[in-house]
């Protein structure tokens, strides 16, 4: 699966047992508060849209969102659909492994296709 390219940001799939997307701000910027108002709004709207589409498509137990960038100091956000059966729940995906995952999820391609259409018509 490729990326989704918008003018202010792009989206990447993070390979994982769970549905996990990353939004990268395109302009080199280290902290989110240093983004322009347009970049902030675009990212918040994209996170909101992705969360809603993930909830509809996967019916997860929880959505998780995070922006760290300690290793890669370029503003990027993680958004993940979490399930009671995934390997880390209820820990964050960066926490201690809890079990072997027994997740069976539908393919991600239709979600990415929907996001591509909705993001490009709204925010790209």
Cβ 53 to a copy of itself, closest distance in Å? 9
Do 51 and 65 contact (CB within 8 A), yes or no?
yes
| Binding residue count for a copy of itself, defined by CB under 8 A | 30
Using CB under 8 A as the binding rule, whether residue 38 contacts a copy of itself is answered as no
Using CB under 8 A as the binding rule, whether residue 82 contacts a copy of itself is answered as yes
- Cβ-in-10-Å burial (0-12, 13-18, 19+) of 63 comes to middle
H or E element at residue 3: none
Binder to a copy of itself among 2, 73, 106, 110 (CB under 8 A)?
73
Using CB under 8 A as the binding rule, whether residue 104 contacts a copy of itself is answered as no
Q: What phi and psi values does residue 25 have, to the nearest 5 degrees?
A: -70, 135
Using CB under 8 A as the binding rule, whether residue 44 contacts a copy of itself is answered as yes
Using CB under 8 A as the binding rule, whether residue 122 contacts a copy of itself is answered as no
Binder to a copy of itself among 38, 91, 109, 113 (CB under 8 A)?
91
Query: 34: which residues sit within 8 A by CB, 6+ positions away?
Result: 75
* Closest CB to a copy of itself among residues 5, 61: 61
Using CB under 8 A as the binding rule, whether residue 99 contacts a copy of itself is answered as no
* Closest CB to a copy of itself among residues 2, 98: 98
Tokens in use for 51?
């969360």
φ/ψ region of 59 (left if φ > 0, alpha if ψ in -120 to 50, else beta) reads left
């Amino acid at each position: 699966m490729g990326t989704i390219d918008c003018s202010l940001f792009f989206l990447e799939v993070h390979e994982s047992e769970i549905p996990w997307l990353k939004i990268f701000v395109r302009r080199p910027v280290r902290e989110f508060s240093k983004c322009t108002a347009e970049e902030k709004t675009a990212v918040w709207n994209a996170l909101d849209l992705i969360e809603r589409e993930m909830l509809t498509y996967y019916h997860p137990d929880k959505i998780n969102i995070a922006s760290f960038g300690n290793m890669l100091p370029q503003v990027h956000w993680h958004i993940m659909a979490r399930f009671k059966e995934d390997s880390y729940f209820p820990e964050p995906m960066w926490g201690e492994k809890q079990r072997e995952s027994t997740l069976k999820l539908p393919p991600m391609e239709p979600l990415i296709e929907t996001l591509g259409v909705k993001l490009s018509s709204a925010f790209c």
